[in-house]
Amino acid sequence: MVEPMHKSSSSSTLGPGGLDLTESFFKPISHTAPPSTTKRHTKISVIGVGNVGMAIAQTILTQDLADELTLVDAIAHKLRGEMLDLQHAAAFLPRTKITADVDYAVTAGSDICIVTAGARQIPGESRLNLMQRNLALFKMIIPPLAKYSPDSILLIVSNPVDVLSYVAWKLSGFPANRVIGSGTNLDSSRFRFLIADHLDVNAQDVQAFIVGEHGDSSVALWSSISVGGVPLLSLLEREQIAYEKETLEKIRKEVVQGAYEVINLKGYTSWAIGYSAANLARSLLRDQRKIHPVSVLAKGFYGIEGVEVFLSLPAQLGRGGVLGVINTDLTEYEAQQLQNSAKTILEVQSHLEF
Ligand SMILES: NC(=O)C1=CN([C@@H]2O[C@H](COP(=O)(O)OP(=O)(O)OC[C@H]3O[C@@H](n4cnc5c(N)ncnc54)[C@H](O)[C@@H]3O)[C@@H](O)[C@H]2O)C=CC1
Ligand SMILES: CC(=O)C(=O)O
């Protein structure tokens, strides 16, 4: 007995130009049922197809993170060019539907919206200096994203990322757990690289956090660094390897200088932030519950009271967005540095005009 076949959009047999391929090339199997509704279609939108947006887009594709990747930019011809260029790699990539439009309606139903649009630093310019230019753009970008994907997670990358995460939170009206800045996830990777390079170990075996501002006032949490589970400072003491606060501060400065150096040399940074943002998208979409140093609403954590400021803290990320902030022991010096970093961001934030 032959069961009736259910036709659905995913079992469509229409070929290019609407040609019905059922009886020629494509012969459907019998005994079919409608597609399962338990596996959700996952969609990531990337706003801004510049150096950073495209590095993130291509990492998302190669790591097979979403069923659909949608791109938005203000420049229509560049946007279409980038979309086609990615689509032409289809034969070498996991299957992902790639769409693009200047109209935000194309982002409807996104799980994550990653915002990379905006001005970037010229050599020597600080991230905080970009605020006014990128605030104006965010007023055009965030409201339509919130309208078309009211349940999404906003992942902010544009700089200054901490202040703009606060702006995105305010403009979207989203709960704070669904607005995240990529923050010091990238700085921490630079930090782990430098430590790993110094000790000649794998950076993935180095647990180390940079917190606070994604920028000049960032804070290195030396007291909690471990390598393969061994606390770093006690290892240095045990091996009688001398270290001084100045030496450690020099490494932190090298982390801060890292971005300026790359911008001086190639004009922008892209590959590391591409991997960093895709790494965050994976933890969020796949409910990995991993701890990442990212920019979150810090009110109530680490002695930051009574002020609404976004800065990076070690946060657990999952399908619900920010699930919580980890309570790491800070030395007095680290706690003071974190307070100073919050003050630096708040000072810039106080000049915001919505
Ligand atoms: N948080 C982080 O760790 C990092 C942040 N960044 C930041 O990312 C941002 C982007 O940097 P790049 O990609 O190098 O710049 P870019 O100049 O290459 O690209 C910016 C893109 O934004 C688009 N854009 C401008 N206005 C728009 C609007 N209203 N709607 C949609 N798209 C719009 C432009 O057309 C352009 O394609 C900068 O603010 C930069 O500072 C860069 C690296 C790391
Ligand atoms: C540009 C920037 O924010 C970075 O590469 O860290």
| 3-class DSSP assignment, residue 156 | strand
Give the model's pLDDT for residue 303: 94
Same domain, 59 and 177: yes
Residue nearest to atom 19 of ligand 1 (CA): 50
**H/E segment holding residue 278:** helix 271-285
The verdict on residue 48 lying in a domain is yes
Sign of CA dihedral 70, 272, 280, 177: negative
Ligand positioned closest to the Cα atom of 115: 1
Whether residues 176 and 190 share a domain: the answer is: no
Q: Which atom of ligand 2 is nearest to the CA of 190?
A: 6
98 and 210 housed in the same domain: no
**Same domain for 252 and 342:** yes
Query: Known binder of ligand: residue 53?
Result: yes
What ipTM score was computed for the predicted complex, to two decimals? 0.99
Which residues are catalytic, by number?
214
- Close Cβ partners of 234 (under 8 Å, ≥ 6 residues apart): none
**Last residue in a domain, options 144, 164, 181:** 181
Considering the domain architecture, whether residues 193 and 165 belong to the same structural domain is answered as no
Q: In which region does residue 249 sit, left (phi positive, over 0), alpha (psi from -120 to 50) or beta (all else)?
A: alpha
Q: Which domain holds residue 192?
A: 185-349
Is any ligand 2 atom within 6 A of the Cβ of residue 159?
Answer: yes
Last residue of a domain, one of 181, 201, 234: 181
> How much is the pTM?
0.92
- Does any domain span residue 149? yes
Give the pLDDT of residue 9. Answer: 39
Whether 156 maps to a domain, the answer reads yes
Residues 191 and 273 both lie in one domain: yes
User: What Å distances lie between residue 84 and 72, 89, 117, CA to CA?
Assistant: 13, 9, 19
Q: What's the 321 CA to ligand 1 centre distance in angstroms?
A: 23
Q: Where are the beta strands (DSSP E) in the chain?
A: 43-47, 68-72, 97-100, 112-115, 153-156, 179-181, 206-207, 210-211, 219-220, 226-227, 230-231, 290-297, 310-318, 321-325
The verdict on 50 and 154 lying in the same domain is yes
All residue ranges of the chain with pLDDT < 70 are 1-24, 39, 242-245
Examine residue 25 and state whether it is found in any structural domain, yes or no. no
Residues 299 and 342 in one domain: yes
Last residue of a domain, one of 128, 151, 181: 181
Q: Is 264 annotated as a binding residue?
A: no
Tell whether 160 and 288 lie within a shared domain: no
Contacts of 24 (CB under 8 A, 6+ apart): none
The verdict on residue 199 lying in a domain is yes
The pLDDT, as a whole number, for residue 96 is 98
Specify whether 217 is located in the same domain as 172.
no
Specify if 23 maps to a domain: no
Q: Are both 215 and 156 inside the same structural domain?
A: no
131/111 Cα distance (integer angstroms)? 27
Question: What is residue 350's predicted lDDT score, i.e. its pLDDT?
Answer: 93
Residue 309 Cβ inside 6 Å of ligand 2? The answer reads no
53 C-alpha to center of ligand 1: Å?
7
C-alpha 170/C-alpha 297 separation (Å) is: 11
Q: Helix axis angle, 185-199 relative to 245-266, nearest 10°? A: 110
- Pocket residues: Cβ below 6 A from ligand 1: 47-53, 72-75, 116-121, 130, 134, 137, 140-141, 157-159, 161, 182, 186, 214, 268-269, 273
Provide the number of structural domains found in the chain: 2
Distances (CA, A) of 164 to 44, 227, 322, 335: 20, 33, 17, 24
Please check whether residues 338 and 202 belong to one and the same domain: yes
Whether 30 is covered by a domain: the verdict is no
pLDDT of residue 79: 98
Report if residue 19 sits inside a domain: no
Q: What is the pLDDT of residue 160?
A: 96
Which domain CATH number covers 175? 3.40.50.720
Q: How far apart are CA 80 and CA 113, in angstroms?
A: 19
Q: Which atom of ligand 2 is nearest to the CA of 268?
A: 1
What CATH number is attached to the domain comprising 286?
3.90.110.10
